[in-house]
């Protein structure tokens, strides 16, 4: 696809990354060998990055949103219906960091070769993670951002200004 459209300069890889971070699951490699899904996922991600690099593309890897371990989307919906403050759905940063240990192990080493954006850096301070940005609910369920939340978060990250400085 990128070879057909030479105007593409950037590729954003974004996911919850959870299927690639489960140590005790097995995956079938290209050679038909059983290996941990973490090892297989890491190898596949490295091959993808190598291929994109060979095409001369700038890669941005986006980590998952801060996860509380509960259904933050449901909490936000209940707060809206009951007229409660949405801040009641905020959660401890330590929960988010604990839930991201395996994902961090997968993505952190990539920062030596590509831009890695940790969404927790934009929704969490040292003590807590916000379930909203400027009153906009971030989550639609336990693991995914809502569409309005994604838009609000992208405004906070401001990807365009980070990369529009290129000639």
* pLDDT (tens digit per residue) in 54-88: 988 889 999 999 999 999 999 999 999 999 999 99
8 A C-beta contact, residue 53 and residue 110: no
Alpha carbon distances (Å) from 74 to 39, 46, 70, 147:
33, 35, 9, 15
Q: Of 61, 83, 69, 62, nearest to 139 (Cα)?
A: 69
The DSSP bridge pattern shows strands 115-117 and 91-92 to be unpaired
Q: What is the pLDDT of residues 1-27, one digit of tens each?
A: 556 667 788 899 998 887 777 666 666
The Cα 108–Cα 93 span in angstroms is 18
Burial of 157 (0-12, 13-18, 19+ CB in 10 A): middle
Please write the tens of the pLDDT for every residue from 84-110: 999 999 999 999 999 898 899 889 999
In this structure, the number of other CB atoms found within 10 A of the CB of residue 120 comes to 20
Structural contact between residues 104 and 116, judged by C-beta atoms closer than 8 angstroms:
no
Identify whether the C-beta of residue 64 lies closer than 8 Å to the C-beta of residue 17: yes
The sign one gets for the Cα dihedral 60, 147, 99, 47 is negative
CB 14 within 8 A of CB 39: no
Return the SS3 of 123: helix
The answer to whether 141 and 71 have CB atoms below 8 angstroms apart is yes
pTM of the model: 0.82
């Amino acid at each position: 696809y990128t070879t057909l459209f030479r105007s593409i300069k950037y590729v954003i890889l974004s996911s919850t990354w959870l299927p690639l971070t489960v140590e005790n699951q097995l995956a079938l490699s290209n050679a038909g060998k059983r290996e941990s899904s973490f090892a297989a996922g890491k190898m596949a991600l490295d091959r993808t990055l190598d291929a994109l690099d060979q095409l001369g593309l700038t890669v941005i890897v986006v980590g998952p949103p801060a996860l509380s371990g509960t259904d933050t989307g449901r909490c936000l919906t209940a707060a809206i219906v009951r007229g409660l403050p949405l801040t009641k759905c905020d959660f401890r940063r330590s929960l988010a960091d604990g839930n991201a240990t395996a994902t961090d192990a997968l993505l952190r080493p990539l920062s030596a070769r590509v831009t890695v954006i940790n969404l927790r850096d934009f929704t969490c301070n040292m003590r807590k993670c916000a379930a909203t940005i400027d009153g906009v609910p971030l989550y639609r369920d336990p693991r995914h951002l809502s569409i309005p939340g994604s838009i609000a978060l992208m405004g906070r990250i401001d990807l365009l200004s980070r990369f529009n400085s290129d000639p």
